[in-house]
Structure 1
Amino acid sequence: MKFLRNKATVVPLVAITATLALGVPHAGAQNLLEMLFGGGVKRAPQGEFPPPPPKYKPKAPATTGGAKISSPSYYTYKADRLVRIDFSTLTATAQPATPQDAAFVPTATGTAFRDAIAGLGDYELYAEPDVAKALIAYYSANPDFIWVTGSGPNNRAQDAVRVLGEAASYGLTPADYTVQVPTTSASPADANAQLKELVRFEMALSARVLRYAHDAQNGRVEPNRITGYYDFPAKPLDLVGVLKTLAHTQEVRTYLESRHPQNPEYQALRVELESLQASAENEIVVDPKLVLKPGETSPELPKLLKLIARDLDDEMGGAYGAVLARFAASEVYVPDLVPVIKAVQQKQGMKGDGVIGPRTVAALAGTSKADRLLKVQVALEELRWLPSDLGSPRVFINQPAFTASYIDNGQEQLKTRAVIGRTTNQTAFFYDQIKQVDFHPYWGVPQSIIVNEMLPRLRNDPGYLDRAGYEVTDAKGTRIPSSAVNWGAYGSKIPYNVRQQPSEANALGELKILFPNKHAIYMHDTPQKAFFKKDMRALSHGCVRLQDPRGMAAAVLGTSVDYVAEKLKHGHSSEDVTRNIPVYVAYFTAWPDMSGKVEYFDDVYDRDSRLKQALDATEAVRSPSI
C-alpha cells in the first residue's frame, strides 16, 4: 500500500483516493485535511471520552473574549539609594555599643581608635544600606583599625587600594571604589588632625572594600529587577565576615580577588577585555544594525563595498572585481551588486539571500571596538550572577549563539544547534538542575498558548482539540471532551489542562529533557527540523529545541545514543538523571569557546542595552557617595 507522508502523519493513499471519489461530509473533509496538513495525530486517543459531568454544562459566555496572558516585562531599573552612615552608635568609651566579638584582641592602636571615633561625628560617608549596617556592626564589636598602623596606612591598606584601583581590569568602574589615602605626618602639632584623617580613611576604605567584595561576587546590579525574564537566586555574602577576614590576614589581594568568579570563562573574558582596551578602533566602522535590501539606499553601503574589495581573493576578484570598482561609491544597492553580496554571504557560511543585515555586517566589518567592549563588560557582569564554579559535567545553552553544549572535564563533549524563543516569547535566563528525560513525551500545553493561540479557535470550533489529539482534563485530572467545554465562557484563566499525546506531530518530537522551573522551559526534539538550517533561530514559544536531542539525552543520562534509540522503540517512558548536572539557560553576546577565544553574537532580545541602563543607573547613584 502506498502512503502519502508529511511531518505530521502517514495516511494511506488509497483512503484519500476513495474519499475524493465518493465525497465526504464537510466535517470529515475537515478532519482529513487536518491530518494531512497539521493537527492530525498518528496515535489515536486511548478509549472514548466519558460524558461530561453535570458541572461542565455550558456556562453563559463571559465578556473576556479579548483576554490574553502577557509575557514578562522589562522594567526601568532603580538602584538602591545610598545612606549616610550613622557613626553615632560608635563611642569613644571603654565599652562598645554592642558586645565585643569573643575573638577580638585589642592591639596597640585600639586606644588610638577609640580616641579617633570622635572625629566621625560630622563625617558624611555614604554607602549601600547593607554596607552601612555591616560597617557599624563590625566596628562596634571590634573597635580597632584594620588599615592603619601607627601614624599611617599599613601594608594591608596599600594592597587593598591597589586592588580597588585595578577594578577596570574586571570590567568594573574604579571611581566606585576610590579612597583618598592620607599623607603621613610626624608633627605632634598635627596629631589630632592626623588621627581624624586616619579614622575617616579607615571607614572609607572599609566601605569601598565591602562594595568591591559585593560587586565582585554578586555583580553591581540586581538582575531580577531588570526583567521578569531574569531569575537568579540570592548569593549571600557575610559583609561583617569580610572585614573580620581582612583584619586577620596579610593576603588582602588574594582574598579580594577570590571574590570574583573562579572559572576559565571569566578569566578568558578578562584577557579579551585587556586586549580590547589596548587595541585601536576598527579602520572601517559600519552600523551593526544596518538592514539593506536591493533597491534601497544607505551611506553605509560604500563602507561595506570597500571592505569586500579590500579582502578579495583571486576567485572573487575575477568574478566581481569590475563590478565593485564601478559601484564603489554607490549608496544605492543596485541589482548588479546583489550577486556580489550573495557570494560573500555564502563564502561566510550564511544563506545567500542578498539582504544585508547585522550578520552580514558583522562578517565583513567585524564588531566595532565599542560594541565588543560593551559585550565583554556585560558578559563579566552576567557571569557574577552565576555560581563561581559552573560545575562539571554541565549543560550550557547560550541563547544568542543558538547552541547547547554538554561539557565535562573541561571538554565540550557535545555541541548542537538550538532554537530559542521568539522575541515575543523570549527564553528566560536562569540556571537549574537536570532531572529527567522523557521518551515520546506528552506535551502539557502552557496556559499562555491555550489562552493566546488556542482559545480564539476553540470559541468557534470547540471540538478542535478532540480531533487534533489533545487531552483536556479538569483540576482533578478527570478527562473530558473538548467539545463539551463552553470555551467562550473563559478569558485569561482557563480551569482546564490540555496536553498533546505522543505522536509524530507532537510539538516536542520524540523526547524532552526536563529541569523543572517556574518558566516551564526545557530542552526537546521538534518535528520542525528545517528551523535548524536558519541562521537566526529565535523561533519557538520559549523552550529550547535541539538539533541533536538523542545525543544530549545520552550525554545527561551517561549512556549511548544506541541506548536512547532502543528506549524510543518502546513508546512513552521516563528516566531520571541520577547525576548532579547543572544546566545554564544563559544569555551571553560575548562568550569564549573551549580554547579561550571570545566569540561575539547578535543581541537578539536587546538585553545588553537594558543591562547597560541598569549599570548607568547604579553609577548615577554612586557618583556622589563620598
Structure 2
Amino acid sequence: TDATRLIAQAKVSAPSAIASALEAYYSKNAAPLWVSGGDVNDHARALISVLEKAADFGLDPADYALKVPNLTTASVAPAEAPVASAEAEATVDPAAAPEAATATPVAATPDTATTTAETPAVASPAAGPAEGHDRDLMQFELALSAKALMFAQDMTRGRIDPNKISGFHDFKLKTVDLNGVMAFLATGQEPGAYLAGLAPQDRHFTALKAELVRLRAEAASEATAVKLPDNLLLKPGNSSPDLSAVVAAIQHSGSDALKTKHEATLASYQQTPEYTPELVDLVKTFQSEAGLKADGVIGAATVRKMVGHTSQDKIEKLVVAMEQARWLPSDLGQRYVFINQPAFRVYYNENGAEQFSMRTVVGSKAHQTFFFQDEIETVEFNPYWGVPQSIIVNEMLPKLRADPSYLDRLGYEVAVNGKAVPSRSVNWYTSTQNVSVRQPPSSDNALGDLKILFPNAHAIYMHDTPSKSFFQRDMRALSHGCVRLAEPRKMAAAVLGISEQEVDARIAGGENVAAKVTAKIPVYVSYFTAWPNKDGKVEYFDDVYDRDAAVRKAFEATTKARSA
C-alpha cells in the first residue's frame, strides 16, 4: 500500500533502542497508528496532549515536541531532521543522556547509539503535492512514535545516565520494554494513564510531583517572600530591628503544627525588637522541625531555613529530585533503610512506613559519599577498623615518620605482607602498599561499638563513632565517606529484628562477632536536595556536594543532543 511504502521511506533520528522498537513494529504492521483519513487522528492528538504536559512529571516538553502536518499544506517539515546521523551527536557532553552517541551506530552499543530508524527502502515515483502531504504524514507517524517511546523511557528511568554525571554515582541503568509500549499504543486506548503509570508510583515521587505542580502555579507570588540579612546573629535576650522579619519568615514557612502550638505568641506579637522568651520558644520549635540545633540562636543556618529557597530554586531541586527518583526502583519496598546525604539523616522504614530517623555524619566534600543502592547483610559488634591506605598515607604517615612508635602507643596493629610487626620496625619512608594497619575493638575505636555492612565497591557502610559531638552540628559532611549514626544501637536492633537490650548485651560481651540479618534489607545511599518527610511535606536541603548543578548541565546537554 501507499502507507506501507511511505512509512518504509520515512526516517527519524532516534536512540538505537528506540529505533529497533520502531523497526520491529512497523516492519510487521502496515496500518499507521496516528494518521487516518488523510489527517492526524484523535489518538495522535491525545498522545500529543500527554507529551505537552511532560513538565508536570519533571521532564522537558521540548524533548518531545514535533510539528503536526497541516492538512492544507503539501509539505511540512517534521520537527526532527529526517536523516540525522549518530555522528551529529558524537561530541556531546559525556554527562548527557544515555542515548548520546560516542561512536558510529555500527560500533556503538544498543543503549548508547543514536541511529536512523527506517524500514527497507521501496522505490517510488516522483511525488506530487498530494503524495508530498502523505509523505509528511508518514514522517509524522514515525516521529510521533519515536517521541512516545522516548517519553516512556524517560518516565521510567530518567533522561540522563547517572553514571556519566560524576564519579560518585553508581547505578545500573533500567531496561525499558519499548516493544511493550508500542504494543499498548497500538491498542488505541487512551495513552495518558498508561504513560503516567510508567513513572515511579511510590508516595515520595507522588509528593514531589504534587509539590512541583503547586509551586509552578504559585511562582507568580514570589514577591511575597520574606527577606533576612545573611549575616544576622540574634541570641536570646538580645534586640534586633530584624526580629519582625524573623517572625514573618516563620509565619511564611513554618508548619501548621508550629503555628497552632504558638498561635498566642504569633497573634500577640507587636513588631517589637525584643527577643523575648516566648519568641525564643517559637524559634526553637522552628529549628527543631528544620533539623537544626534547637538553641534559639538565630544565625546563618537558621536564616537559610527561615528564608528558604525561592520558588524557582525549589522547582529546580524538585526536577532534579524527580529525575533521581527514577534511578531507584519504582517501589522502594516494604522494609528498607534510606540515607539522604543533604539532609544528614537516615530513615528506617518497615511495613511501608517510616518507623524512625536519626542524624548522620556523611563524607566531606573532599571524601564524598557515593549515591547508590545495595542490601544490608551483616551487623558486626566490637569491630576492628581497617585503616584505608588513603588515611595511612595522607594522615598517619607524617606522624609515623616523626615517631615510628606512634601506632604502637595507640594500640594499633601493624602487619607487613600479612605478618604482624611493631610500627617502630617499619621503614615509613618507603611504600606502604604492603603495610596494613587496623585498630582493635576499644572504647575509642573509630567505628565505635558496631558497624552495619552492605558490601559494595565503595567500601561504604554505617557505623558508630566516638566523636558524638559531631551530631550537634548542623553541617555534618565531615567523614571520610562512610555514614556515622547518632543512634547505632537502635538501627542495629531494627535491621536484626532484635531488642536494643540484646544489642547492648552483645556489645558488652566484648567479642568481635558478626550477626547476619534474617533477610537482606535494601539500603539507598541517596542524594536528594528535595524530599518529602513522613507526612508528605517536601523539605529542601543545601546541595552540599554541588551535584544538582551537574544534573542540570546534563539536562541541557540532553535537550541539545535531541534537537540536533
1:147 aligns with 2:34: yes
Q: Is the 8 A contact 1:509 1:526 kept in 2?
A: yes
Matched with 1:308 is 246
Deviates more, 1:580-589 or 1:126-135: 126-135
For 1:219 and 1:311, locate their aligned partners in 2 and report how far apart those are by CA, in whole Å.
35
1:356 & 1:146 partners in 2: Cα distance?
A: 61
Question: CA distance change for structure 1 residues 482 and 206 in 2, over 3 Å: closer, same or farther?
Answer: same
The letter of the residue matching 2:526 is A
Match in the other structure for 1:605: 545
Is 1:467 matched with 2:409?
yes
Assess if the C-alpha contact under 8 Å between 2:226 and 2:249 holds in 1: no
Closer, same or farther in 2 for the Cα pair 1:362/1:344, shift >3 Å? farther
What is the CA–CA distance in structure 2 between the aligned matches of 1:185 and 1:277, rounded to whole Å? 37
| Deviation at residue 354 of structure 1 after TM alignment | 5.7
How far did 1:507 drift?
A: 0.6
Partner of 2:46 in structure 1?
159
3-state SS in 2 of match to 1:158: helix
> Which deviations, in whole Å up to 9, do the C-alpha atoms of 1:454-507 show, x marking residues without a partner?
1222222222222212222345x33232222212112xx622222111000101
Q: Confirm or deny that 1:487 pairs with 2:428.
A: yes
From 58, 64, 83, the counterpart of 1:177: 64
Equivalent residues in 2 for 1:409-424, closer than 5 Å? 409-424=351-366
Q: Which protein has the larger Cα radius of gyration, Structure 1 or Structure 2?
A: 1
CA contact (8 A) 1:500 1:506 kept: yes
Q: 1:253 aligns with which of 192, 208, 211?
A: 192
Provide the alpha-carbon RMSD of the alignment: 3.2
In structure 2, the CA distance between the partners of 1:483 and 1:134, relative to structure 1 (3 Å rule), is: farther
CA distance in 2, matches of 1:418, 1:249: 51
Higher relative contact order, chain-length normalized (CA < 8 Å, sep 6+): 1
What CA deviation, in whole Å up to 9, does each residue of 1:238-279 have, x standing for no partner? 434432443346253333222211211101110101110111
Q: 2:340, 2:528 within 8 Å by CA — same for their partners in 1?
A: yes
Q: Secondary structure at the match of 2:368?
A: coil
Identify if the C-alpha distance between structure 1 residues 466 and 144 changes in structure 2 by more than 3 Å, giving closer, same or farther: farther
Cα drift, residue 320 of structure 1: 9.9
Residue type at the aligned position of 1:158: R
Other-structure match for 2:98: none
Q: State the TM-score, normalized to the length of structure 1.
A: 0.71
Judging changes above 3 Å, is the alpha-carbon distance between structure 1 residues 319 and 286 closer, same or farther for their aligned structure 2 residues?
A: closer
Equivalent position to 1:572, from 512, 515, 518: 512
Match of 2:533 in 1: 593
Q: Which amino acid aligns with 1:462?
A: P
Match of 1:211 in 2: 150
From the superposition, tell whether residues 117 and 580 of structure 1 become closer, same or farther in structure 2 (CA, over 3 Å).
Answer: same
Contact 2:333 2:352 in 1 (8 A): no
CA distance in 1: counterparts of 2:400 and 2:207, whole angstroms: 52
With over 3 angstroms needed to count, the CA separation of the structure-2 counterparts of 1:616 and 1:186, relative to structure 1, is closer
- Which residue is equivalent to 1:435? 377
Contact 1:338 1:354 in 2 (8 A): no
The one-letter code matched in structure 2 to 1:494 is: Q
Question: Which residue of the other structure, out of 112, 118, 132, is the alignment partner of 2:2?
Answer: 112
Distance 1:554 1:173 in 2: 44
Partner of 1:455: 397
- Structure 2: how far apart are the matches of 1:338 and 1:559? 46
| 3-state SS of paired residue (2:478) | strand
Per the TM alignment, residue 397 of structure 1 is displaced from its structure 2 partner at its CA by: 0.8
| Equivalent residue for 1:265, pick from 191, 199, 204 | 204
Q: CA deviation at 1:181?
A: 2.6
User: What does residue 44 of structure 1 align with?
Assistant: none
Instruction: Find the aligned partners of 1:450 and 1:374 in 2 and give their Cα distance.
Output: 41
The share of aligned pairs that are identical, in percent, is 47
Matched, 1:366 2:308: yes
Is this contact kept in 1: 2:243–2:272, CA < 8 A? Answer: no
Secondary structure, counterpart of 2:173 in structure 1: coil
Q: Give the distance between the partners of 1:420 and 1:219, measured in 2 at CA.
A: 26
Q: 1:292 offset after TM fit, Å? A: 5.7
Match of 1:146, SS?
Answer: coil
Q: How far is the alpha carbon of 1:568 from its aligned partner? A: 1.6
The 1:118/1:232 distance shift into structure 2, 3 A limit, reads closer
- Residues 338 and 545 (structure 1), Cα distance of their counterparts in 2 relative to 1, 3 Å cut: farther
What is the one-letter code of the residue matched to 2:44? A
Aligned to 2:115: none
Aligned pair 1:543/2:482, yes or no?
yes
Partner in structure 2 of residue 283 of structure 1: 224
TM-score, normalised with respect to structure 2? 0.78
- C-alpha distance in 2, partners of 1:205/1:315? 59
Task: Tell me which amino acid in the other structure corresponds to 1:420.
Answer: V
Count of matched residue pairs? 486
Q: Is the 8 A contact 1:445 1:500 kept in 2?
A: yes
List per-residue Cα deviations over 1:557-610 (Å, max 9, x = no partner): 112112212222222110111213100111111111122111111222222222
Q: Which residue type is aligned with residue 371 of structure 1? A: D
